[in-house]
Chain A
Amino acid sequence: MPNCESDMTDDIAVLAHPRTKVAQSSATQAVLEVENLTKHFEMHHLGERLFAFEGVTFRLFPGQFLLVTGRNGAGKSTLLRTLYRSYRPKGGHVWLDTAEGRIDLARAADVDIALLRRREIGFVTQFLNPRPRVTAEDIVAEPLRLAGRQKGEAVDEARRWLGEFGVKRELWAAYPSTFSGGEQQKVNLARALILPQRLLMLDEPTASLDVNARHALIRRLSALKEAGIAMVGVFHHRADIADLVDSELDLTTQEVHHVAE
C-alpha cells in the first residue's frame, strides 16, 4: 500500500477509481488479467493427477467484483488459492497491475509474491490462524505494523475494526485460539480488511458469521469497492453480496456473465 500514515479513509482515497468511469473507459488498465490458467494436483503417493480446472480466462478492473460460482468441487477455492499462489499453477498467466508494473503471478519469484502479499493482494479465508500468545488486537494490528505504522496507532485502528465486526470488548486483549469459530472469524475479517489492498480475494468469508457481522462485512466490502479495490470472491450465500457483484465466473461451464446494472 502506498499510503500508510493517514487514517483508513485516506488509505482508501488513494486507490479511488469511480465505478462508472471504470465501466466506460477502455483505457483503464485491468487490475487482474487471467489467461488460460490451469491447475491440477500430482498425488505422488497415489500415482494420480487430480484435475482442478483448465483454461480459466477473465479480466478484472478497479472496483469490480467477480463472483466465482460452480458446483461443489468445481475448483472455486482452488482458483483463489492458485491466484494467490498458495497453489502453484500448471499453466497460463495471472497478470497483476502493481505499483511497480505488470507482473505474471504464475511465474513471479517467491520473494516477489511475498512482497505483493504485503502491499497489493489480500486474501480473506474462512479460518483464522491464531498464534500462541498473540492477542486479538495484536493479530488485527499486525498488517498495519508490518506496513510501518506506530504500535499505538495500529492497535487503536485494530480496536475500531474489532468493534465494527462485533467482537466483544473484553475479548480484544485475549488470545483468539480459545474463541468460538464465529468470534475467530470476526477477528480474521478485521485483520484481513484493515489494510486495503489493490486486489482482494474472498473465500466464503460469511460462513459462520452472525447477522450483524455479516452486515459489517458487506458495508466494508462496499466501501472498498467504491474505493476502487477489485475483488474475486466465493460466497455460499450469494444473496449476501448480490448488490456488489459485477460479473460471475461459472467454473462448471467456465463462462463469464456480466451482471446488468
Chain B
Amino acid sequence: MSATSEILPLDAPRLLTATPVLQMESVSRRFGDVVALEDVSATVYPGEVLGIMGESGSGKSTLLRLMNLEDSPDKGDYRLDIPGAAGNLFDLDRYGRRMLRARHIGIVYQNPHLGLLMRNSSSGNVAERLLIAGERRFSELRARAGDALAASEFPLERMDAPPIELSGGMQQRVQLAKAIALEPVLLLLDEPTTGLDVSVQALVLDTLKRLQRDRAITMVLVSHDLGVIRTMADRVMVMRRGRVVEEGLADQIFQDPQHEYTQALVHAKL
C-alpha cells in the first residue's frame, strides 16, 4: 500500500472566483545540507484560516518566516493580493520587504521577545506599528493603539505597562494588538498559544476566533498542537521533512486522513 491511497483528484471546475490573498509556488529552502523546505506551494483565500501542522523540524516555521519575508528561499515565487505589490515578493529589497511587512502583514510569535520590545510600554509597542505607517499625532497614536489592544481583549488600564511585567497570555495579546493595528491583509500565527496554560490558551484562541469572524482576517496558523489546529483552521496543510504530505478541509484531515503520516499523527493525539 502506498503512503497515500488512491483518491479522486479535486479537479472540478472552480466555483469560488475570489483572488487568493496569498499564493506561494514551489518554494525550496536549504540550510547547508539540511533541506528545510522542498517544493512547497500554498494558497490562502480571503477570510480563511489555513492551519499548518507537523512535527518539530517539518519546516512549518521556516515556511511562516518566508511568508513574513524575513528570509529568502533558494527558489520559489510569492505573491500577496495587495495594491502595488506586483511580481515575486522574494525579489523585493530589504526596505521594500520591511515596508510591506509593516503595513500589510501581522505576525504573532510563540516567543514574545521576538515580536515585542519588552521594556517599552505595551501601548508604545503597538504605536510603533502606526508610526511606521506614517501616523505622527500623539492623540491618534494612543487612541488607535488603545483600539487595537481593546480588540485583542487587553485590559486598557494596563496599556502603559511594559510587556516584561505582564503574564504570557497578556504578552500574546500585545503581540496580537500590534499585529492587527494596521488591519493587515494577512495575519501569521507561529505557535501563538504554545507555552500558555490551558485556560489562557482558550482565551487567546477565542480572541482569534472573534477577530476572524468579526473582521474576516485571513490567517495562517502554525502549530504542532492538533487541538489548536482543529479548533481554528478551515483548511489544513500537513508537513513532514520540508514537504507537504497532505492538504484538506480540517474535518477531513482529522476524520479521514489519507496519508500514512497524517494517520499516524492524528491517531497519536490523546
Q: Which residues of A contact B (CB under 8 A)?
A: 41-45, 47, 49, 81, 85-91, 98, 100-101, 103-104, 106-116, 131-134, 142, 145-146
Q: Which chain A residues lie closer than 8 Å to B7 at the CB level?
A: 88, 90
Contact assessment for B206 and A114 in the assembled complex, using a CB-CB cutoff below 8 Å? no
- Does B128 make an interface contact (CB < 8 A)? no
Q: Are A133 and B202 in contact (CB under 8 A)?
A: yes
Of the residues B5, B12, B205, contact of A112 by C-beta under 8 Å: B12
Q: When the two chains form the complex, which single residue of A87, A108, A109 contacts B256, counting CB atoms closer than 8 Å?
A: A87
Q: Which residues in B have their C-beta under 8 angstroms from that of A145?
A: 213
Interface string of B5-42 (1 = CB under 8 A from A): 11111111111100000000000000000000000000
Is B122's CB within 8 Å of the partner chain A?
no
Q: Which A residues are in CB contact (< 8 Å) with B251?
A: 86
B12 touches A109 (CB 8 A): yes
> Could you list which residues of chain B lie within 8 angstroms of chain A, going by C-beta atoms?
1, 3, 5-16, 45, 48, 202-203, 205-206, 209, 213, 231, 234-235, 247-249, 251-252, 255-256, 258, 260, 263-264, 267
> Are B14 and A112 in contact (CB-based, < 8 A)?
yes
Inter-chain pairs besides A106-B8, A107-B12, A116-B15, 15 sampled, C-beta below 8 Å: A44-B263, A45-B264, A49-B1, A86-B256, A87-B252, A88-B258, A89-B8, A108-B10, A110-B10, A110-B247, A110-B248, A111-B45, A112-B15, A115-B15, A134-B206
From residue A135, how far is it (CB to closest CB) to chain B in Å? 11
Distance in angstroms between the alpha carbons of A110 and B250 in the assembled complex: 10
> A116 vs B267: C-alpha distance in the bound complex, in angstroms?
29
Q: How far is the CA of A133 from the CA of B235 in the complex (A)?
A: 23
Question: How many A-B contacts are there with CB distance less than 8 Å?
Answer: 99
B206 surroundings in chain A (CB, below 8 A): 131-134
Distance, CA A142 to CA B9, complexed state (A): 32
Known: A86-B252, A110-B247. A103 touches B258 (CB 8 A): no
Given contacts A86-B255, A88-B248, A115-B16, contact A45 B10 (CB under 8 A): no
Cα A254 to Cα B257 in complex, Å, equals 26
Complex contact B12–A90 (CB within 8 A): no
Contact present for B14 and A109 (CB under 8 Å): yes
Question: With contacts A86-B252, A88-B256 known, is A132 near B205, CB below 8 A?
Answer: yes
- A111 to B18 CA separation, bound complex (whole angstroms): 10
Chain A residue nearest to B205 (CB atoms) is A132
* Residue pair B263, A111 in contact (C-beta under 8 Å): no
Cross-chain pairs A/B with CB under 8 angstroms, 29 sampled: A44-B260, A44-B263, A44-B264, A45-B263, A47-B1, A81-B256, A85-B249, A86-B256, A88-B8, A90-B6, A90-B7, A98-B15, A101-B15, A103-B13, A106-B8, A108-B12, A109-B12, A110-B10, A110-B247, A111-B45, A111-B235, A112-B14, A113-B249, A131-B231, A132-B203, A132-B205, A133-B202, A134-B206, A134-B209
By a CB distance below 8 angstroms, the chain B residues around A109 are: 10, 12, 14, 16
Residues of A within 8 A of B48 (CB): 111, 114
Q: Indicate if the CB atoms of A107 and B249 lie closer than 8 Å.
A: no
* A106 proximity list for chain B (CB < 8 A): 8
Q: A114 touching B234 by the CB < 8 A rule?
A: yes
Closest chain B residue to A132, Cβ basis: B202
Which residues of the other chain, A, contact B14 by a CB distance below 8 angstroms? 109, 112
User: Closest 4 A-B residue pairs measured CB to CB?
Assistant: A132-B202, A42-B5, A44-B260, A107-B12
B249 neighbours in A (Cβ, 8 Å) = 85-86, 110, 113-114
Bound Cα distance from A153 to B65, whole angstroms? 41
Q: How many whole Å from B1's CB to the nearest CB in chain A?
A: 6
Q: Is the CB of B15 within 8 A of A100?
A: yes
Instruction: Give the shortest distance, in Å, between A193 (CB) and chain B (any CB).
Output: 19
Min CB distance, A17 to chain B, in Å? 22
Question: In whole Å, how far is B109's beta carbon from the nearest beta carbon of chain A?
Answer: 23
